[in-house]
Structure 1
Amino acid sequence: MIEGEFAAPSPGALADEVAAVLIGRRDPGVETFERLLGALVVHGHRDRAALMAALESVPRAFAARPDLPVRRLAGVVAAAREPIPAGEPREKPGVGWLEVCQHMALDYVAGTRTAEVAARLRSGDPVPFLLSVPSGPGGLVEPQALVERLAAYGRLGVRPGPADLGQALLRCGGPVDPDVLRAAERLDLPEGQRVADWLRQGGLPAPQGWRERERGVPERPSRRRGARIGRRILVGHEAIEGRGAFPRPFWSLFRKFEPGIPCPHYSLVDGRDAHMVAVLPRHPEVAAARMLTGVASAADQNGPGAPAFLDALAAADGPAGPAVHLAVAYGLAAIPQGEREAAVRALVLLTARGRLDGELLGRELTELVGLGTLKVPLLTESLRAAAAAPQGAAGVWAVLADALPGLLAHTRPQAHGALLAVAADAARCSGARGELPEVTALAGRAGSSMLLKEARRLRDVLAGH
């Protein structure tokens, strides 16, 4: 299984694929990045000379600044073709590391792993394959796969890299077959008992989280203060036990995360991508909480969007709680169109997978609209698009059934005619029945405005007419 799992293209074909990614400068996605990273390691161990020769055709410089995953891949390529001369000191990844921002904890993990890979390639001491290469597209490492990989290390007399093993453990967890646990306990490696204990506890424990609003009285956006005065809802989490066994740069992830602490990064876009979700594929809540400031900036400050991040949150296998739903809420009314489209896909996917909490998302949308953070026309446009997608109408109605009463009671209802039209269509398509008193009261008013017409239509749909 190990041999087939880590089959790699020829050095020449690998060099061509790597060159295409570097020339393109755009994030190739988690699956392609991990496959190329793993193949570089495999060839660096099998035949370093052949790999070095093939990589000579790969560009050494960029015409413009590429995405962060591309820069990291370029660093590994440089290390693979430029070994350290004999007698020179070897690199020690993580030495002198300093935590500069609590939001970047996931980025520290990803960066430390690729730095370790590069250091071992440069020093001529590569591992035969990486332990942390995902078993599937989302980043998960199956427990059985990890144990089998470690067993192969034991047979080959190879010690795992601390960052590689640490990332593999963060990607691994959940219910474990007793046979896999017994195999882990029999591993002929000093790390065997640690791995067995980790799998027995189910992987990284989910931290206790909390939701909080930014400090300050909500103010309208201004040129001096932007939009970040009391207008965002964020999520923090308590400390996570067990950091001591991981490399020091991983420790930031285990610390208590307090979203109210000022951050030197304006938009956090450089590290807000699917790779951050893949660091902790079983805990999208942690990834969403850490990156939520950046997601919010796309809604209230016209910050840059990062659609792949929202797509990955919805596709992850872990629980979707307040942080994930807030990320979707901000995305649905984001200013960049690509971010809104990703939020629509996320809403539909969460609905299809049974992970959407419509009541929770409805409450968050109501509060964020009331704070002035989200613009109703953009939100309406996104919900209309979601309702038109297969299985989307049920999710949109689940959200609006909870959001509409608050929106109609606490915001200017005159602006919600188009939103009521979306609600009526979604209710009809999903077969919803019942009554919303606020809608019934609005429908009973005299007049012929769009708001009143759509309120009557929604009332009649819910009554089965």
Structure 2
Amino acid sequence: MIQGEFAAPSPGALADEVAAVSADRHDPGVGTFERVLNAVVAHGHRDREALARALTGVPREVGGAAGTQVRGLAVVVGAAVGTVGVAEDGKGAGAGWLELCQHAALDYVAGARVGELAARLRAGDTVPFLLSVPSRGSGAVEPHELVARLAEYGRLGIRPGPADLGQALLRCGGPVDPEAVRAAERLDSAEGPRVAAWLRRGGLPGPLSRREREAGVPERPSRRRGARAGRRILVGHEAIEGRGDFPRRFWSLFRKFEPHISCPHWTLPDFRNAHTVAALPWHPEIAAARLLTGVASAADQGGQGGRGTPAFLDALAATDGPAGPAVHLALAYGLGSVPQADRDAAVRSLVLLAARGRLDGELLGRELTELVGLGTLKVPLVTESLRAAAGTARGATAIWSVLAGALPGLLAHTRPQAHGALLAVAADSAALSGARGGLPEVTALAERPGSSQLLKQARRLRDTLGG
């Protein structure tokens, strides 16, 4: 049933992959994680004793420094090769006090699925494959594939796990597929009507979102631990209908998200990764909004660079869902991040969004302008990132669309003396992309007397736009 990248390898190859993940202890990526998770399930269903023999020498315990996905695989592998016992409900994973944290909502979904799977394996209740295995690298599940998987479950007399089905539904979205809807209506199972209704409306509805700026004014830079010089802009969203059809541990995702409410997220693992985005691939806005605080931390000017988020930024750009204010704010923070890896990822993401027609250059330009004005982003870091993205005609066109939206505000409301290098990038981008027109702020600057680098670049940009 599962083909391509996520097809189950042989037991021997599976053992090698599990051993490599356990030894590395770092995030194995969405492809490896989902493939290994599904392979353990599939081989456990076909021949559990053969699976146990293949995995005999594979460690089933990992240290505390291991990533969330590595620990999750260790739990599932241990359940698959262990002794069959009494049925469990799997309520332990992702529940408890962690639900106080709004930022970890998508991780609760992943934890619920792993916990449910481990409980079924311990009880000897096997399934031939997971319903929620992605159809492609973004994490999306094709509607017709989900219906086919449910039909096979029905043929075998197997009931879907609520968390597995819930994750599969969250991964279905996009344009309505009438054929998939009709096939779901024909399913001879209790899940048929629910799945048909879900596919008919195009998956999870997108919530209304709102931008929220941190209160106060920019602070003076400080070396004090935890100090931040600038002010962040975050994104919240309203409640989402329909949580009652999903397991209890999914409900945090459906609640109203208020980004400035404090929570114990500083004690939790870092959820800014591709798995978080892949849990809801048609709604990158929700993933970006929930984790925007962490993304912004890498761009703060207080000397507390924060942990990087390159995989998270790459994954946001690779989804098919709409890219709105949260995604563009994440991109803006990435372009001005202290870690080089984050800036590189932001450049890749910007170019990919532009290539797929999902970049709103004017919106990104406005966000960059406001964040610079708030003292959150440093112009030299942003300039370096934009220069890296402008190396090709396609990249130059995207960068010019960004700078056309950013330069008026930057030149009007910040010290223009700091923007000579940025104007050079703008002039190069305008020349490569064939941009024409004019920006009054650039023209006014170009007409000032003097021969500084700032004025030279302003004149070059003015002349380029004038043809």
TM class, shorter-length: over 0.9
* CA shift digits 1:242-301 (9 cap, x unpaired): 000100010000000000101322397611100011011000000000010000001003
Find the aligned partners of 1:335 and 1:229 in 2 and give their Cα distance. Answer: 14
The Cα shift of 1:111 comes to 1.1
SS of equivalent to 2:291: helix
Find the aligned partners of 1:389 and 1:110 in 2 and give their Cα distance. Answer: 39
Matching residue's letter, 1:249: R
Matching residue's letter, 1:342: A
Matching residue's letter, 1:372: G
- Structure 1 residues 123 and 152: CA distance shift in structure 2, 3 A: same
In structure 1, the residue matched to 2:279 is: 279
Find the aligned partners of 2:228 and 2:284 in 1 and give their Cα distance. Answer: 24
SS of equivalent to 1:388: coil
Pair 1:253 & 2:253 matched: yes
- Structure 1 residues 361 and 97: CA distance shift in structure 2, 3 A: same
The Cα shift of 1:176 comes to 3.0
In structure 2, the residue matched to 1:291 is: 291
Preserved contact between residue 217 and residue 229 of structure 1 (Cα < 8 Å)? no
Matching residue's letter, 1:174: G
Pair 1:51 & 2:51 matched: yes
The Cα shift of 1:24 comes to 1.4
Find the aligned partners of 2:268 and 2:389 in 1 and give their Cα distance. Answer: 27
Preserved contact between residue 386 and residue 392 of structure 1 (Cα < 8 Å)? yes
Find the aligned partners of 1:267 and 1:296 in 2 and give their Cα distance. Answer: 17
- Structure 1 residues 391 and 206: CA distance shift in structure 2, 3 A: same
In structure 2, the residue matched to 1:38 is: 38
TM-score normalised by the chain length of structure 2: 0.95
SS of equivalent to 1:152: helix
TM-score normalised by the chain length of structure 1: 0.95
The Cα shift of 1:121 comes to 1.4
1:306 to 297, 304, 309: 309
The Cα shift of 1:70 comes to 1.5
Pair 1:353 & 2:356 matched: yes
Matching residue's letter, 2:90: K
- Structure 1 residues 60 and 389: CA distance shift in structure 2, 3 A: farther
In structure 2, the residue matched to 1:83 is: 83
Preserved contact between residue 288 and residue 326 of structure 2 (Cα < 8 Å)? yes
Pair 1:397 & 2:400 matched: yes
Question: What are the ranges of 5 or more consecutive residues in structure 1 without an aligned counterpart?
Answer: none
Preserved contact between residue 393 and residue 433 of structure 2 (Cα < 8 Å)? no
Find the aligned partners of 1:83 and 1:396 in 2 and give their Cα distance. Answer: 58
Q: How many equivalent pairs are there?
A: 461
In structure 1, the residue matched to 2:371 is: 368
SS of equivalent to 1:299: coil
Find the aligned partners of 2:162 and 2:181 in 1 and give their Cα distance. Answer: 21
Preserved contact between residue 268 and residue 294 of structure 1 (Cα < 8 Å)? no
Root mean square deviation, CA, Å: 1.8
* CA shift digits 1:219-262 (9 cap, x unpaired): 23435573457700000000000000100010000000000101
The Cα shift of 1:191 comes to 1.2
In structure 1, the residue matched to 2:169 is: 169
The Cα shift of 1:379 comes to 0.5
Find the aligned partners of 2:64 and 2:100 in 1 and give their Cα distance. Answer: 26
Find the aligned partners of 1:64 and 1:450 in 2 and give their Cα distance. Answer: 53
Q: Report which stretch shifted further, 150-159 or 25-34.
A: 25-34
Preserved contact between residue 234 and residue 293 of structure 1 (Cα < 8 Å)? yes
The Cα shift of 1:196 comes to 0.8
Question: What are the ranges of 5 or more consecutive residues in structure 2 without an aligned counterpart?
Answer: none
SS of equivalent to 2:429: helix
Matching residue's letter, 2:73: L
Percent of pairs identical after alignment? Answer: 73
Matching residue's letter, 2:311: A
In structure 2, the residue matched to 1:452 is: 455
* CA shift digits 1:302-350 (9 cap, x unpaired): 0010101000101110000000000000000100110000000011111
Preserved contact between residue 97 and residue 249 of structure 1 (Cα < 8 Å)? no
Preserved contact between residue 216 and residue 230 of structure 1 (Cα < 8 Å)? no
The Cα shift of 1:68 comes to 1.8
The Cα shift of 1:218 comes to 2.5
SS of equivalent to 2:231: coil
Pair 1:187 & 2:150 matched: no
Find the aligned partners of 1:389 and 1:325 in 2 and give their Cα distance. Answer: 21
2:445 to 428, 442, 447: 442
SS of equivalent to 2:266: coil
Matching residue's letter, 2:222: S
Preserved contact between residue 269 and residue 306 of structure 1 (Cα < 8 Å)? no
Runs of 4+ aligned residues of structure 1 deviating over 3 Å after TM superposition are: 3-7, 60-64, 94-98, 221-230, 266-269
